[in-house]
Amino acid sequence: MSRPLKPVLLTGASGTLGRLLAHRLAALGWTLRLTDIRDFPDPLPPGAAFERADLEEGGAVGALARGCGLILHFGGISTEHPFDTILGPNLRGSFNIYEAARQEKARVVFASSNHVFGFYERTVKLDQDDPMRPDGFYGLSKAYGEMLARVYWEKHAVESVLIRIGSVLPEVPNERILSTWLSHDDFVALVERCAEADKVGCTVVWGASDNSRSFWNRDGRAVIGWRPRDSSDDQAEKVRGKVTDDPVTERYQGGVFVRADYSREDFPPAEMFPSPANLPPRDLES
């Protein structure tokens, strides 16, 4: 596969997914600018440079993005935290990324999350245009990021691929992740296709392998030409019965993220928002 002609900025490079991408993409010959608020914990891969930076500092983000044709935005808080903790890195940080992309006319790959939809029950199958139902402040920040990407596409023609990441893990640890699992190989191939596709506009892709138990249906993967090759199905027997004893965690797609700071004594009514579960069946061929 071809490699990008211009340098690629990777935020969140010191995190789990950032490190995976840094090593795998460098091995493909990509020229990478790595950044994180923490030092990069590994030896730098060939063709990569690292600079510490805070996503909340717009000038620093703009300087790092100068001359880049692609920004892989994996930085920020990646788990549920109080709103004030998430506010700066995830909201202002994403704004700074999109401002830099606008200045450089760069494409953005935005690491969104399945937690944008975590309050859907596990029996519901979702399409890309179903209403967002974040399961906490982290999911809310990713919903903001997706809307930010749409504003910058509509108003400034900044292209984005919004990857609603499931669970990028070497193997499946429990029953829920049979639905959300994204193998390392499928994940890296997805990012490659985000870079190589001719035109992407503002495209949504569910970040999951070819899992028969997936919570998710249609998305824009045909736009970028990505098809996952792996599946969680052959790991099902190994994790059978690996569930929690918490009814909230087990009811919703977001799992333990829903339970965090959950203060209701019951379940929210399923009909409180328009839901795919309450609509007539859709033609999956359309």
Q: For residues 271 and 87, which has the higher predicted lDDT (pLDDT)?
A: 87
pLDDT at 285 over 80: no
Convert 61-78 to b/e letters by CB count within 10 Å (16 or more is b).
bbebbeebbbbbbbbbbb
In this model, does residue 80 exceed pLDDT 80?
A: yes
Q: Which candidate in 98, 138, 144, 152 is catalytic? A: 138
Judge whether 138 counts as a catalytic residue: yes
How confident is the model over 186-212, as pLDDT tens digits?
999 999 999 999 999 999 999 999 999
pLDDT(276) > 90: no
Looking at residue 69, its pLDDT comes to 98
Confidence of residue 269 (pLDDT cuts 50, 70, 90): confident
User: Looking at residue 274, what is its pLDDT?
Assistant: 63
What average pLDDT does the segment 265-281 reach?
69
Using pLDDT thresholds of 50, 70 and 90, give the confidence band for residue 286: very low
Mean of the per-residue pLDDT values of the chain: 94
Non-local (6+) Cβ contacts of 260 within 8 A are 80, 136
pLDDT(144) > 50 = yes
Rg (CA), the chain: 19
Residue 118's closest CA among 136, 144, 100? 136
Q: Report how far residue 285's alpha carbon sits from residue 282's, in angstroms, rounded to the nearest whole number.
A: 9
The pLDDT value recorded for residue 5 is 86
pLDDT at residue number 242: 98
Digit-coded pLDDT (tens) for 32-61: 999 999 999 999 999 999 999 999 999 999
Position 284 scores a pLDDT of 40
pLDDT band at 270 (very low <50, low <70, confident <90, very high): confident
Q: Is the pTM of this model over 0.85?
A: yes
Range list of H helices, 111-212? 137-156, 177-180, 184-196
Q: Which domains are present in the chain?
A: 8-278 (3.40.50.720)
- 226, pLDDT greater than 60: yes
